Structure 1
Amino acid sequence: MAKIAPFRAVRYNLEKIAEPVSVMAPPYDVISSELQDDLYQRNPYNLVRLILGKIEETDDESNNRYSRAADFFKSWQEEGVLVRDSEPGIYLYDEEYFAEGIGPVVRRGFLALTRIEDFASGVVKPHEKTLSGPKTDRLNLTKACGANFSPIFGLYSDPCCVLEALTRDASSCQPDIDMTDDDGVKHRLWRVTDPDIIEKAKELLDSKPLFIADGHHRYETALNYRNYMREQVGEYSGKELFNYVLMYFANMEDQGMLIFPTHRLVHSLKDFHLPGFLSALNEFFEVEVRDLNLSDADSRREARTILQQKGNEAHTLALYAGGQSLYYLTLRDPAIMDRFFDDKASKALRVLDVSILHRLILEQLLQITPEAQERQLNLKYVKNFDEPFDSVHSGDFQLAFLMNSTRMSEVRDVANAGEKMPQKSTYFYPKLLTGLVLNKIGDGESVVD
């Protein structure tokens, strides 16, 4: 099963960086152009220059965002802004945030290296589809810099929470880093070099598969980079650092491990007619319409509560098409979905709320092809529950589909079946902060047994 290893992380030198939060960044794939500009201005050593450098008009094959990232990475180490730990360790990483309706939540995990495995081995299990463009981009960056800058978010299952108990004393000490990001999320990091704790972590993961929660493109990039390096060196033992990748490991049984929904906005539908669409929905769903006061926060909050309650009993999503009405769509019979999948598809995939939306509603009833969905020609994905109402009410979008969260058990079941969910099926919040630890893939270096 999963093989993990401690490593000598490259980290920001806190003697030279007075405000660590000024050099951190979210994952590259959630950084807008506006946020990119902001991060550039915050600190000349902000990690955005490595993970998502700006594109210049004069860029060519030898001078581009990847070569500049490599130059920054090298010079920052030479200046002592980035320093590498002297001995291998693992890094405990807690994120504390406020979840509406729950209160303060702490998600606990740790950062280490994991041996890269082909998906066919069943050791590492994906649950979402990937696109070629981001993988090419990340591979170019990895080749130029020889490093993992952003960890992959991995899940394992341990109902006994063994590692949490073992590391309780270590995480009760003063953390190496303690900061709060723009969203109010508190990030705390502890370096652990205790060989007993490291060995227990290795033993725990040695018997378990890993599920990719976030970072599918980064993991497939690591696979491609490993294969590229194996071709370059010819002979390899399997312990070289390019055979491993930086990963954050979290227990899916942890109470702080929550999945949030991603809602869908639909636009640019030609000749769309709401009464006809509602009539078509009636064949497959019990459609219940309720009044909604858009200007009243309590009314919107009640709408979310009703959606959650209905979702606990049956597969339900909500439709907003403007005005003061909200439609709750409850699938009449899960067997309905059998007609939209081939016989090989697992039941777990067929009856996901996102599968019901994408296969039945978007593809069959609204005639938005899978290719158009993948390219987001008619779709926009949003996290905030209130945003869809404002977007449709303003006329910028025609429809909004409000979703319940995908369950952790559904992620596990779909991944175990070797299948992929539609895009944006899961939203693991908060995102991992990029810049806490970096993994330098040093030439000729191997992992420590």
Structure 2
Amino acid sequence: MTYEQLRTDHAAGKIDNVIVALPDLQGRLQGSRLAVPHFLAEAATDGFSACTYLLATDVDMNTGPGYAIDAWNTGFGDFLLHPDETTYTTLPWDEATALVIADATWPDGTPVPIAPRHILRQQLDRLAAHGLTAHAGTELEFLAFHDTYAEAHEADYHRLRPATRHNVDYALQGTTHLEPMLRRIRREMVQAGLTLETARAEVHPGQYEIVFRYDEAMTTADHHTLFKHGTKTIAAQEGHAITFMPKYDEGEGNSCHIHLSLRGTDGTPVLADPTAPDGMSALMRHFIAGQLAALPDFTLLLAPNINSYKRLQPGAFAPTGITWGTDNRTCPIRVIGSGHSLRIEHRVPGGDANPYLALAALIAAGLHGIENQLPLPEPHPDNALADPTVPRLPSTLTEALHHWETSELVTKTFGDTITTHYAQAARTELTTFERAITDWERRRGFERL
């Protein structure tokens, strides 16, 4: 849809406001609602002012020194949000409302370098210089609860009631009582412009997965962000709370497997080679080798929070090592498909991953392998989760931060500003957690210490 459709819908009384939204460091949509006449007359072409701190906060919207944008010491000034007309859509779950995703620029028109959307665009531009494009799909899982968000908050997120009573993986009957909400999510995401492929119940009680068709990488990241935003809204309207956090409890975590393939700018497949014994082109072999080589240093962009690493633990059916395999779900890099559909499935990111940053990391890793023609080791033949000889992923945010900050590859790929900014985001997460008193500490020490 375009702004011409917006003019038509506004004249007909169907749309009365437009949300101009910026994806933040956590991959959430932040922004403002604009009256349609004001949006069309000014913001659509000239941009809309928003406070710079939106790209320098933790999940609680706290900012401070150490970020590349120091809002306190620069007076909490503004940058401009320039709407990307290609992202314009109407929101079925938000009455008379349209939404457009924006890019952040400084007043002189230069991009804000630490904006997640800009970081992904830079890597896509690098791909284009090689005559390549990226197509991606993300598979998001979430947990649904009978409790509302308000009830969950009042209960301090304890003793919540999962929306199913047991493992309903692939079960057709187990989520029948949830269909009013799930049907709305599926239907209204399609109405908002996403292309639904599959949906099913998952392993953890209350867990569900909805998969949308792959698209150009930036479009997939935009749709991913819109999906999370809309799904939470619909769940709240239906009297449910849902969470995408990677590890809610000791049960199965919420993953965000990312499928990624490359094509030539003319649409031809470049990863497949039907004459090769394994069906993979030399370019694909380098592409996978780059994923393995860069994985320790880029993990911070795939698993950005303390909770991310609770999912990436032994026995959690999530990757813990650095290896690859053909249709092997115990490996972080799983190769599947053939011909046009030949692709990698990257299994490290969880439901908290920022899709722009995660895709940027995967594309940059692949380019590292291609540009340096890295050799690919043999695929792992069996259970990589149980193989002690496989090199390990960073197992904590502290370890991932160390790899990120000391990596020449990170600095070379993303530059000093981005490296420092996202290191500060991780450090803020760690500092906040270290100051918190957990339930584990109270149970362990209240009476006995």
Superposition TM-score, scaled by structure 2 size: 0.24
The normalised TM-score by structure 1 is: 0.24
Larger of the two Rg values belongs to structure: 1
